[in-house]
Amino acid sequence: MGKEEIKLAIVDDEELVVKLLEQFLSTIENYKVVITAFDGSEFIEKLLVTEEIPDIALIDLRMKNMNGIETVTELKKTHPEVKVITISSHYKTSFMGYMMKVGVNAFIPKGVAPKYVVDVIESVNTRGYYFTEEQIDIMRNQISSSAPEPVLDENNLTTREQEILELICHQYTAQEIADKLNITKKTVEGHRTNLFLKTGVKNLAGLVIYAIQNNLINLKDFNLSNTTT
């Protein structure tokens, strides 16, 4: 049995980039490019009429008519389930926090090797996010080593939710978490939904940011073994 098909969208105002990326990704066994667009507004229009909704959208940050931030914001209103990888020549790690806040699952620069792009897509598809060591270091350095332990009350996370959050941060999938904790995948997904509601974040990448900012995980143990740098 082959891998499950991953439907992709490519949005970039450089036609050559779109065509080359489409050509390359179409050669990957389980990848299918279902939408290409040369600006954000065209992408949103196509998304509203297509019969095949992409699982993951690769979106340029700086585009005419509707830039990447505006595109992601609009996308999340109509199709919040679509994961987003921002690929930009205007990559700055200082943008990372805001990108995650609006719902981006990964943020990488243009000019990387094709295999790197595939690694990022695979990570976002299976785990919901992708971070480089550099990005983790930035998040780590933004947190004081003397930051106080968070005070937990009835509005904060339960012990089980904290346990699941830690496993998400260590890149376990919902099924892997279920197997590890001897619970059903549906139960894991229910806890994950509660985590989204309680933390106010939009996706798994946001949960990782939340966990780091609130000292809910040990950064020394943060698992990057399944990512490429």
Reported confidence tier of residue 223, pLDDT bands at 50, 70, 90: low
- How are the residues of the chain apportioned to helix, strand and coil, as percentages rounded to the nearest 5? 50, 10, 40
Give pLDDT, residue 59.
Answer: 95
pLDDT tens profile 134-162: 777 766 665 444 444 444 444 478 889 98
**DSSP at 219:** G
- Type and span of the H or E element at 72: helix 68-78
Distance CA 229, CA 227 (A): 7
In the chain, how many H helices and how many E strands? Answer: 10, 5
For the domain spanning 6-133, the CATH number is 3.40.50.2300
Query: Which part of the chain has CATH 3.40.50.2300?
Result: 6-133
In DSSP terms, 83 is beta-bridged to 56
pLDDT tens profile 45-65: 999 999 999 999 999 988 888
Do 168 and 157 touch, CB atoms closer than 8 A? no
Do 40 and 66 touch, CB atoms closer than 8 A? yes
| Topology of the domain covering 143-221 | Arc Repressor Mutant, subunit A (1.10.10)
Reported confidence tier of residue 24, pLDDT bands at 50, 70, 90: very high
pLDDT over 90, % of the chain: 42
Mean pLDDT (whole number) for 209-225: 67
pLDDT tens profile 98-129: 776 788 899 888 888 889 999 999 999 988 88
pLDDT over 70, % of the chain: 81
pLDDT tens profile 1-15: 457 899 999 999 999
In DSSP terms, 88 is beta-bridged to 109
**pTM of the full structure:** 0.72
Query: Which part of the chain has CATH 1.10.10.10?
Result: 143-221
Mean pLDDT (whole number) for 14-40: 94
**Lowest-confidence pick of 90-94, 185-189, 194-198:** 90-94
**Lowest-confidence pick of 128-132, 159-163, 218-222:** 218-222
- Type and span of the H or E element at 83: strand 83-88
